[in-house]
Copies of this chain bind each other. A is one copy, B any other.
Amino acid sequence: MTMIEGLNIEYVHVKGNTFEAKMNLNAFHGQIVGMLNGGATVAFGEITAGMASNQLIDENHIAVGQTIIANHLKGKKNEGYIKAYGELLHKGRTTHVWSIRMIDDKACLICQMSVTNGIIMKKKDGQE
């Protein structure tokens, strides 16, 4: 199993300059104390923002995560789900800037993220 598979992302829907994604929580996402592992939340944001950027660019380019920022706002028990609501604040030729709100199944804002993706030509091994 890869980490992306384990994260159990149900969908990523891109609509205009926004996206919505859903991650269903299970044992994979937990910590010893029964709480959601914050690292899973951040990975969810980074990965879905990358998927969303890739749907907004042509086939010769690829989005790579450049700057990832997360403010964890509230702990969450490791059950239920999280939805990510992304808004593309900047759609440049070389960078996309996403603002993402993570809302849990109790409608609670648990995390605010900002993800800057670099938009690079394909075939390059990595960033820039």
Contact = CB atoms under 8 A, between A and B. Distances in A.
A126 to B, nearest CB: 1
Interface residues of A, number: 55
Interface in A67-83: 67-77
A6 B96 CA distance: 30
B1 A28 contact: yes
Given A38-B46, A74-B90, A69 B66 contact: no
A40 B38 contact: no
22 contacts: A1-B28, A3-B28, A3-B29, A4-B31, A37-B47, A38-B64, A38-B65, A39-B43, A39-B47, A40-B43, A42-B68, A71-B89, A71-B90, A71-B114, A73-B127, A74-B90, A75-B124, A75-B125, A90-B128, A94-B95, A94-B118, A99-B112
A84 to B, nearest CB: 13
Nearest to A109: B89
A107 to B, nearest CB: 14
A97 to B, nearest CB: 5
Contacts of A70: 65, 67-69
